[in-house]
Amino acid sequence: MPIAMRRYLDRALADHRQALSNGEGISEQLWLSAILLSHVHWLLAHQKQPGELYELPLQVFKMLEGTSTLFVREKALLERLGYDWVGNGAIPHTLRDDELTVAARAQLQGIDKDLTHLLEAFNVPTVLEYARSIYTEAKDYILYYYRAFYSGAPAKSLRRFIGFMPLNCQPGYRRLLGRHDPLAMALMARMLVLLSALDHAWWMNGEGDYEVVERDVQGILDLMPVELRWVMDWPCKALDGEIVLKKA
């Protein structure tokens, strides 16, 4: 059954690309197909396969990026028809330190300390400017959305920024992930675990054989060189509940 599902998905994706490239305008059926294929592709990419090693879902991010581009291109029509897309929406608002609770400030300080230690351990301040900007942007991105979480931003506005982090960082970040760069993967894991603190959404979090967060975090741990597995201590503890991610 899993083999058949993947085969039909590949065929459906090919047919969908062909339909979009025929030069005609977007139809309601094509848009609904794009949404369905994006979510199915996301969940299937996290399905465990016997004897198959974990791989980062980078191809799915390309699919999601394409769907977001399609929505932006046809936004006027699609909104008139009453449709929206998870990739659409404003950046959530954050509170200043003096507006946060004491507990929230303490948790944010702990996250900032962990991220700072992580970048220092990889000597990021001394690397080339291009690479330094990628890592620094990713760190700032993570801190911003943890702050948004502790600021009380609703799960609906947070999910896409948390789950689809590689789409919202500069393209160089995805290239690093494609090379299994340890620091890039460790940063992604720290963002992903925040999904487990949000209200469950089947199309993002998955469940059962298609569970997303645990699959990604464990998969990233497996991809790490043995001598660098310590970089996954924080996200693994957060996932196991040793570090509590909770709005105060």
Per-residue pLDDT of the chain (248 residues; tens, 9 = 90+): 767 777 888 888 888 888 888 766 788 999 999 999 999 999 999 988 777 889 999 999 999 999 999 999 999 999 999 999 988 888 999 999 999 999 999 999 999 999 999 999 999 988 889 899 999 999 999 999 999 999 999 999 999 999 999 999 999 999 999 999 999 999 999 999 999 999 999 999 999 989 999 999 999 999 999 999 999 999 999 999 999 898 76
**Where among 50, 80, 110 does a domain terminate?**
80
- What per-residue confidence (pLDDT) applies to 228? 97
Calculate the CA 59 to chain-centre distance.
13
- Statement to judge: residues 131 and 211 lie in one domain: yes
**Where among 47, 80, 113 does a domain terminate?**
80
**Global pTM?**
0.92
C-alpha–C-alpha distance, residues 79 and 152, integer Å: 27
Report helix, strand and coil shares of the chain as percent, to nearest 5.
Answer: 70, 0, 30
Contact assessment for residue 14 and residue 37, using Cβ atoms and an 8 Å cutoff: no
Could you say which DSSP state residue 46 is in?
T
- Statement to judge: residues 70 and 11 lie in one domain: yes
- Statement to judge: residues 69 and 140 lie in one domain: no
Contact assessment for residue 195 and residue 204, using Cβ atoms and an 8 Å cutoff: yes
Contact assessment for residue 130 and residue 172, using Cβ atoms and an 8 Å cutoff: yes
- Statement to judge: residues 120 and 173 lie in one domain: yes
- What per-residue confidence (pLDDT) applies to 232? 98
- Statement to judge: residues 236 and 148 lie in one domain: yes
Sign of CA pseudo-dihedral 223, 10, 169, 144 = negative
Domain assignment present for residue 187? The answer is yes
- Statement to judge: residues 220 and 113 lie in one domain: yes
Look up the domain containing 70 and give its range: 2-80
Joined together, the tokens standing for residue 246 give 């909770």
Domain assignment present for residue 221? The answer is yes
Number of structural domains (the chain) is 2
Domain assignment present for residue 113? The answer is yes
Contact assessment for residue 198 and residue 162, using Cβ atoms and an 8 Å cutoff: yes
- What per-residue confidence (pLDDT) applies to 161? 95
- Statement to judge: residues 104 and 181 lie in one domain: yes
C-alpha–C-alpha distance, residues 150 and 18, integer Å: 44
Domain assignment present for residue 172? The answer is yes
- Statement to judge: residues 146 and 208 lie in one domain: yes
CA 47 vs CA 29, 198, 215: distances in Å: 27, 21, 8
CA 86 vs CA 70, 141, 167: distances in Å: 12, 18, 13
Domain assignment present for residue 246? The answer is no
